[in-house]
Amino acid sequence: MRFSRRRRVTRHPVWLTAPLALVVGVAFLSFALAFPRTAFLLSLAALAALLASRGRRGLRGLLRWRGSEPVYAALVCALLSGGALAGQQFISGGHEGTVTVTRVVDGDTIEVAPPVDGIRTVRLIGVDAPETDHPRCGEQPYGREAANFAAGRLEGERVELEFDVERVDRYGRLLAYVRTEDGELFNETLVREGYAQVATFPPNVRYESLFLMHQREARGAERGLWGLSEEELALQTDRGNGIGGEC
């Protein structure tokens, strides 16, 4: 008579697997909030790898995976929920909700509360206003006017931050489009009113064509900084718009 040898199944105690499951889930969700695109792709890849590891059993085999059910269940839930969260942010354009503008640093940089991902400073995407404290040239022409305009429109106001592909620049600032409570895209307003020139840094190019259209109109009407003298325009930052170069 032959006796079949049953495979020994290792089961981990719940008191050990439950905290581990919680840590894994929270860690991945936090990562998804900070890096939605990466988390979304990682979730898809990890889920595909888990399914592939079960061979022909596929999803049914994964759900019947015995031995460490709480850990695997938590892992799958974390991947799916994190992927859903990241996918929602990626598809919707990364709308982060509303914050309050606590300070306007200059025409294209603000500080907000509460901080997002631990960061308070926000650099507006796609635009470049004249500096009020340039490291080499000091205050650029029309820099004070741009800063005062931004302060008058944004300081103390509730705004919505909209993210593009990259959320943080090399200086540790958030990169965002800023929408006021009435739906105004403030980045667009800065260009349209001549308080900033277009400054495109791929891959954040969602509104590039819109900004360029408004810049052509503002330039043709000599609105804002476009009404400055040639000498003053030469002191602007060179962003590929045919001005600047001296700073």
The catalytic residue positions are 123, 131, 173
Say if CB 41 and CB 90 are below 8 A apart.
no
Residue type, 80: L
Q: Strand pairing of 174-180 and 119-124?
A: parallel
Instruction: Count Cα atoms within 13 angstroms, Cβ side, for 84.
Output: 5
Task: Establish how many alpha carbons lie within 13 A of residue 137's alpha carbon, considering only the half-sphere containing its beta carbon.
Answer: 18
Q: Phi, psi at residue 59, to the nearest 5°?
A: -65, -35
Distance CA 193, CA 209 (A): 16
What span, in angstroms and rounded, lies between the C-alpha atoms of 130 and 195?
8
In angstroms, the CA 120 to CA 127 distance is: 19
Tell me how far apart the alpha carbons of residues 85 and 40 are, in angstroms, rounded to a whole number: 8
Q: Name the 3-class secondary structure at 162.
A: strand
Give the tokens for residue 244. Answer: 């600047």
